[in-house]
Amino acid sequence: MYSVKRIGILSAMRIGGILSALMIVVPILIFLGLNNIFKFWDVIIPPELLIQGLASTAFWAAIWGALSTGVIVFLYNVSAHFFGGITVELKHLHPIHKDETL
């Protein structure tokens, strides 16, 4: 069993920002695509306004996601030092030969 004592803040912030932007933009694009097919909503959005709106929404979602992930990872790193980290069990898919090392 291994314990995760530290998570890299910058890499976690990058992943949090990307995932936050995707979680905001993808449902909007799915809804707009379905709206074009089934006409749920009788409003037409000009493409230049749609692109600008999606870009700014994705940007601010990425900023918010990166910052909130950074705070959470920082708090995890501090608390893992005192209380122990997440325990992970690693298992090899192939047996290890005596001449190989981890």
Q: Rounded to whole angstroms, how far apart are CA atoms 45 and 50?
A: 6
CA angle, 43 then 21 then 66, to 5°: 145
Where does the pLDDT of residue 30 fall: very low under 50, low under 70, confident under 90, or very high at 90 and above? very high
Q: Is residue 36 part of a domain?
A: yes
Q: Is residue 26 part of a domain?
A: yes
Q: State the DSSP code for 72.
A: H
Q: Is residue 94 part of a domain?
A: no
pLDDT digits (tens, 9 = 90+) for 35-84: 888 888 787 778 788 889 999 999 999 999 999 999 999 999 999 989 98
Q: How many domains does the chain have?
A: 1
Q: Is residue 102 part of a domain?
A: no
| Pairing verdict, β 86-88 and 2-4 | antiparallel
Return left, alpha or beta for 84; rule: phi > 0 is left, psi -120 to 50 is alpha, else beta: left
pLDDT digits (tens, 9 = 90+) for 77-100: 999 989 988 898 888 777 767 665
- Contact between 2 and 88 under an 8 Å Cβ cutoff? The reply is yes
- pLDDT, position 79: 94
Q: Is residue 64 part of a domain?
A: yes
Q: Is residue 18 part of a domain?
A: yes
Domain that holds residue 28: 2-88
Q: Is residue 81 part of a domain?
A: yes
Q: Is residue 42 part of a domain?
A: yes
User: Does the pLDDT value for residue 102 go beyond 60?
Assistant: no
